[in-house]
Amino acid sequence: MSMIFGVPFAVLSGQLLIGIINGAFYALLSLGLAVIFGLLKIINFAHGAMYMLGAMVTVIMFDALGVNYWVALFLAPLTVGVFGVVIEYFLLRRIAGQDHIYSLLLTFGVALLIQGVLTNIYGVSGLRYSMPDMFKGGMNLGFMFLPYYRAWVIVVALLVCFGTWFMIEKTKLGSYLRAGTEDSQLMQGFGINVPLLVSLTYGFGVMLAAFAGVLAAPIYSVTPVMGSNLLIVVFAVVVIGGMGSIGGAILTGIAMGVIEGLTKTYYPEAASAVIFLVMVVVLMFRPSGLFGKEA
């Protein structure tokens, strides 16, 4: 068996795979955060809760109605997206233009509410959700075993990330979003319905989180607190990448997952701290993040 820096190649590639998968989740989540922050100037602390809702809705719909994974992949993000639009319309809109701290506290409160209600009903021990039969098993790549479902997560997460990037950077609708990020008042002065755009953007951002939640349901423990654990890491990823950049959020997400995986292989004690260490170093040299625009 070949060794790389004293670690068997199979172990290394296994950890790298887990790293890339975690990175794909970081990328999906930080992408949504960046999109929301861009137009709404809101730091969405409810993002972890939306991710969790995506997973919970998937499980609940399956248990109650027998809705299968493929339908849930569309229906759960849609449900959570509509929920997000409602939250934007009835809550966030009232404090638009106020200091960041208000929206931060409000979204944090919303997250605690959702989490609290679901904990009351379902507890925190975790719900069981089995993956579709076609994803059971995996293939032997010679140097490692690749479970089908993990491969699927990587591919579909990257596709969604790329699709989002393409929509924002290359389409007409995306140009509204980019321009609105810079000066939404002037956009509205041109005749564009900015309040509607804001609602839909928030809905879309939380949809991305919920989509990640559906992808997570078969491989992670589905509990009402699964989002709050992840969110802190995702915020660190966003800080490293810089709030302003869509492509940056994706690349940083994946890179941080890989770095975490590598650390787990070579120095497991630091694995859960390494992202924050990177954050500190990046902030020292580039306060606006790796891909952020200098303010």
Residues at the contact surface with other proteins, assessed by CB under 8 A: 172, 175-176, 178-179, 181-183, 185-195
Give the contacts of 26 (CB within 8 A, at least 6 positions apart). Answer: 233, 234, 237, 252, 253, 254, 256, 257
Q: Contact 280/292 with Cβ under 8 angstroms?
A: no
123 torsion bin: left (phi>0), alpha (psi -120 to 50), beta (else): left
Take residue 240 and report the two structure tokens written for it: 């490293």
Q: Which is nearer to other proteins, 251 or 262 (CB)?
A: 251
Specify the residue, 189 or 287, whose C-beta has the smaller distance to other proteins: 189
Least distance CB 174 / other proteins (angstroms): 9
In whole angstroms, how close is the CB of 183 to other proteins at the nearest point?
6
**Shortest CB 248 distance to other proteins, Å:** 13
What per-residue string of b and e applies to 188-208 under the rule 16 or more CB within 10 Å gives b? eeeeeebeebbbbbbbbbbbb
Least separation in angstroms between residue 96's CB and other proteins is 14
Nearer to other proteins, 213 or 248 (CB): 248
CA distance 70 to 53: 17
Cβ proximity to other proteins, 218 vs 244, nearer residue: 244
